[in-house]
Chains A and B, each alone.
Chain A
Amino acid sequence: MSAPIIDIRELDVFFGHGRWMNHAVRSVSLGVEPGQSFGLVGESGSGKTTVLRAVAGLLGGVARLDGELTVAGEAQTGQKRSREFRRRVQMVFQDPYGSLHPRHTVDTILAEPARVHRLDRLEERVVRALNEVGLDASFRFRYPHQLSGGQRQRVSIARALITGPEIVLLDEPTSALDVSVQAEVLNLLMRLRRERGLTYVLVSHNLAVVAHMCEALAVMQHGRIVETLEARQLREQSPAMPYTRQLLTASLGYDRGAIDAFEDFS
């Protein structure tokens, strides 16, 4: 087992103050190995996306962080991240409609991070990034509204890759897409990871997607990690904790008999 490239110890995240304080992440510890795909699974409000954004330093001014976070050997405090960190750690968001600037062309969208990080040969990089995600150079001068949902998500992935990152944080990257498009995007993410030796942290509510993409995962509920397990345990349907077993049962489809046995874990 190699040293983790992402090491989170006792992370707490609070939003707001006093009476209205929301303790969104509670004492979360986890390690992601280099080259691994790590899944964060949970229902809405479980804190999975908050953990991802805490790693990225993208929680904003209302959040308070506590705990230790080490990414690629660099200790991170609060939400301040170095320029080099932002080049090496990139993020892909859930909603391909909301995460691309509607009045920027694909060319502008892709060149911006490269320009921010003072990379050279912008045009060449943009074309190469597009090719890598399966889009040809003619897409450069289109606007997001001229693209399908799947094409937009490909552009988002290209934008994340253009700085040459080692770690890509994926927040529900396919949950807004039709299943046929989801399959294409998942295949693309798998191929890019193989070719570039990327490390992924994948947030998803879909257990099958996580079982397919990841080697290990953590199940979250109410801000805590319920259980950390190998994807193999999901495939064999042998998680240790009752909460995870219930999620697994639920993800298998409608079974009238099983539903009455559901426990309320709140």
Chain B
Amino acid sequence: MVEDLKVHFDTPTGLVRAVDGVSFELGREKLGIVGESGSGKSQTGRAILRLTAPGGRVSARRLEFDGSDLLRADEKRMRQVRGGSISMIMQDPKYSLNPVMSVGAQIEEAFRVHHAADRRQARERTLDMLRAVRIREPERVYRAYPHEVSGGMGQRIMIAMMMIPEPDIIIADEPTSALDVTVQLQVLAVLDDMLRERGMGLIFISHDLNLVASFCDRILVMYDGRVVEEVAAAALHEARHPYTRGLLDCLPKLEGGQAELPVLVRDPAWRGAS
């Protein structure tokens, strides 16, 4: 439950309103947040886990998860929330996995931070989880280091690590943008199946409108720190806001000819009202 979330940064050139009054609720669903670079979609995801960079000021009328106020929670409570209740999957496994720790040890650690378990139990759970994300040789991957696995496998490992503490919500920030399309979809299928089996909610942050429309249930379109439109994913192509329409129109279409692409003309009015 997020109400009137703001993330402001003081910079030498003035106040930057990265997120400026975003509100939404999340149930057991796949919620997509789309927008171009600088729209505030990633900052929204980070602010929920209080991972905003130093210098950013986060405020909100309400920022609640399961009855607890995330804005006023102390660091101890936040450590329980991060990973335990709300997990985050980042874009690039190369930078998010620890390069000097084996894959198995990292996933195990994620489990043992949130659950009392001995090494043997943790190891079993980790291998189960690697199987669940459809890694064919879990024993081998368990012992491997991040640089020894492909991008697609790295992202499956990230998913395994984020799922193992059994969170209620996953925030995925461009989780598959660095991957080839077929691998991207296979990784999303793994995520999709696990979300459904475990009844979790997902916030899926992406710049890719078509992907979000086909993957999520509901979409928030962000522009300049605000949500300009909310649509059911299946009805994205009936979106009414000129920004959403503009984004859809300026995509080259597979079936389209070589005609000039419509160019997005930004209306200053989109900034003010939403």
A229→B154 CA distance, assembly (Å): 34
A68→B79 CA distance, assembly (Å): 61
Judge whether A131 is part of the interface by a CB distance below 8 angstroms.
no
Report A-chain residues with C-beta under 8 Å of the C-beta of B262.
183
Report B-chain residues with C-beta under 8 Å of the C-beta of A247.
181-182
Report A-chain residues with C-beta under 8 Å of the C-beta of B256.
211-212, 235
Residue of A nearest to B215 (CB): A254
A183→B256 CA distance, assembly (Å): 13
Contact with B254, one of A179, A213, A251 (Cβ below 8 angstroms): A251
Interface residues of B in 8-42 (CB under 8 A from A): 36-37
Judge whether B123 is part of the interface by a CB distance below 8 angstroms.
no
Contact of A187 with B260 in the complex, beta carbons under 8 Å = yes
Judge whether A30 is part of the interface by a CB distance below 8 angstroms.
no
Give the A interface residue count (CB, 8 A): 36
Contact of B258 with A254 in the complex, beta carbons under 8 Å = no
Report A-chain residues with C-beta under 8 Å of the C-beta of B209.
179
A256→B196 CA distance, assembly (Å): 12
Residue of A nearest to B264 (CB): A180
Report B-chain residues with C-beta under 8 Å of the C-beta of A74.
none
A190→B252 CA distance, assembly (Å): 13
Report B-chain residues with C-beta under 8 Å of the C-beta of A235.
254-257
Report B-chain residues with C-beta under 8 Å of the C-beta of A43.
180-183
Indicate the size class of the contact surface on chain B: 35 or more
Judge whether B189 is part of the interface by a CB distance below 8 angstroms.
yes
Judge whether A186 is part of the interface by a CB distance below 8 angstroms.
yes
Mark each residue of chain A from 3 to 23: 1 if its CB lies under 8 Å from any CB of chain B, else 0. 000000000000000000000
Report A-chain residues with C-beta under 8 Å of the C-beta of B186.
259, 262
- A180/B246 contact (C-beta < 8 A), A186-B252, A253-B214, A262-B186 known: yes
Contact with A212, one of B37, B184, B189, B258 (Cβ below 8 angstroms): B258
Contact of A178 with B207 in the complex, beta carbons under 8 Å = yes
Among B151, B182, B183, chain A packs the most CB atoms within 10 A around the CB of B182
Judge whether A246 is part of the interface by a CB distance below 8 angstroms.
yes
Q: With both chains docked as a complex, state the minimum distance between the C-beta of B34 and any C-beta of chain A, in angstroms.
A: 10
Contact of B258 with A213 in the complex, beta carbons under 8 Å = yes
Q: With both chains docked as a complex, state the minimum distance between the C-beta of A158 and any C-beta of chain B, in angstroms.
A: 19
A209→B258 CA distance, assembly (Å): 10
Report B-chain residues with C-beta under 8 Å of the C-beta of A205.
180-181
Q: With both chains docked as a complex, state the minimum distance between the C-beta of B265 and any C-beta of chain A, in angstroms.
A: 9
Contact of B180 with A44 in the complex, beta carbons under 8 Å = yes
Contact of A211 with B252 in the complex, beta carbons under 8 Å = yes
Contact of B211 with A179 in the complex, beta carbons under 8 Å = no
Residue of A nearest to B183 (CB): A43
Judge whether B1 is part of the interface by a CB distance below 8 angstroms.
no
A253→B37 CA distance, assembly (Å): 21
Report A-chain residues with C-beta under 8 Å of the C-beta of B188.
254
Q: With both chains docked as a complex, state the minimum distance between the C-beta of B234 and any C-beta of chain A, in angstroms.
A: 12
Contact of B251 with A208 in the complex, beta carbons under 8 Å = yes
Interface residues of A in 18-68 (CB under 8 A from B): 43-44
Contact with A253, one of B211, B247, B255 (Cβ below 8 angstroms): B211
Contact with A208, one of B213, B214, B254, B264 (Cβ below 8 angstroms): B254
Q: With both chains docked as a complex, state the minimum distance between the C-beta of B104 and any C-beta of chain A, in angstroms.
A: 24
Residue of B nearest to A186 (CB): B261
Mark each residue of chain A from 183 to 203: 1 if its CB lies under 8 Å from any CB of chain B, else 0. 110110010000000000000
Q: With both chains docked as a complex, state the minimum distance between the C-beta of A213 and any C-beta of chain B, in angstroms.
A: 7
Mark each residue of chain A from 210 to 251: 1 if its CB lies under 8 Å from any CB of chain B, else 0. 011100000000000000000000111100000000111011
Residue of B nearest to A43 (CB): B180
A179→B181 CA distance, assembly (Å): 17
Judge whether A182 is part of the interface by a CB distance below 8 angstroms.
yes
25 A-B residue pairs with CB within 8 Å: A43-B180, A43-B182, A44-B151, A44-B180, A178-B36, A179-B247, A179-B251, A180-B36, A183-B250, A183-B263, A206-B252, A209-B252, A211-B254, A211-B256, A213-B258, A234-B254, A236-B255, A237-B255, A248-B254, A252-B210, A254-B185, A254-B189, A255-B185, A256-B189, A262-B186
16 further A-B contacts with Cβ under 8 Å, apart from A180-B263, A187-B260, A259-B185, are: A43-B183, A179-B250, A180-B246, A180-B250, A183-B250, A187-B263, A205-B181, A209-B252, A212-B252, A247-B182, A252-B254, A253-B213, A253-B214, A254-B188, A254-B214, A254-B215
